[in-house]
Structure 1
């Protein structure tokens, strides 16, 4: 895994092999941040990274100058790796070991960007519940954006606040914003 841009651009990180993760590919990560560059100046953004895994997305935000980043994962090995990497690279990341649904249910903070990368095999119902819960609990700032990474077999465009989706091979990023009146917009960037 490598950091694509920012002050740690090109830095390679090697996560322990025994972590239960499916990291976002470098190609997908680069495409995601190309989209986000059109919407945000990263400096000072408050970011929540759910199902953080190795922390790859968190490091990318931190390297680009985001403010406080909270990385949540249920696996202690992942949380320890994120903590160690954040310390080694002097990144403003707080790693939290928690069930993601419990964290969302109980958090009082708001964030500019929330990124969620649940296991692709998570049920359709749980994907839907996650998106709905984030909006119900008002975790997203009014000008913020929620991005959910999922497989092309999971369909989330029918949910309230859906804005658009980007498809990269078998992976999809679904984007959610407040007051989205846009027509549903699916773009396949791999063809």
Structure 2
């Protein structure tokens, strides 16, 4: 896993061998950020990273100069890894919280995020509830983007605020806008 662009471009991060998270592939991440660059100024963005896993997406946003990143991860080992890596990389603009994503969305209600990225476990029973957790809690800024990474078997196209679907290899992203 590597950081693709920005101040830490090329930096390789090695999670422990027993790490259970499935990080977004570098190929998919690079394509996703190419799309994001066309929609939003990342350097001034406030970002919410849900189901942070390895923290890969948070580090990418931090490296690209995002103003502030809030990372949410329930698994203690993943949370600890993210905290340790933030310190090692010297990022001051990432705050990580160990909690359930759906609880975090309720606690963050009314806060405004320019970009919300969610990469849930592909077998998450409540995967279809993620858009509601974002929009019912009014987390997305008026011109913001919410992106959910998901398996090809999941279809968000009938969900409110769905905008488009992108696929890069076996990785699928659904993009939402107000």
Q: One fold, TM greater than 0.5?
A: yes
* TM-score of the aligned structures, taking structure 2 as reference length: 0.96
- What is aligned with 1:93? 94
> Are the aligned partners of 2:3 and 2:12 in contact in 1 as well (CA < 8 Å)?
yes
Kindly report the root-mean-square deviation, in angstroms, between the aligned alpha carbons of the 2 structures. Answer: 1.0
Partner of 1:66, secondary structure, is coil
> Are the aligned partners of 2:28 and 2:169 in contact in 1 as well (CA < 8 Å)?
no
CA distance in 2, matches of 1:13, 1:94: 18
- What is aligned with 1:67? 67
CA distance in 2, matches of 1:133, 1:23: 22
Query: How many residues are paired up?
Result: 176
> Are the aligned partners of 2:115 and 2:140 in contact in 1 as well (CA < 8 Å)?
yes
* TM-score of the aligned structures, taking structure 1 as reference length: 0.89
CA distance in 2, matches of 1:101, 1:18: 26
Could you tell me which runs of 5 or more consecutive residues in structure 2 were left unpaired when the two chains were aligned: none
Q: Which protein, 1 or 2, shows the higher relative CO under an 8 Å CA cutoff with sep ≥ 6?
A: 2
- What is aligned with 2:108? 107
CA distance in 1, matches of 2:162, 2:121: 20
Q: Deviation per CA, 1:13-35, whole angstroms, max 9, x where unpaired?
A: 11112222011000010010010
Partner of 1:17, secondary structure, is coil
- What is aligned with 1:119? 121
1:170 CA displacement: 2.1
1:77 CA displacement: 1.1
CA distance in 2, matches of 1:133, 1:157: 16
CA distance in 1, matches of 2:102, 2:16: 25
Give the ranges of 4+ consecutive aligned residues of structure 1 lying more than 2 Å apart after TM superposition: none
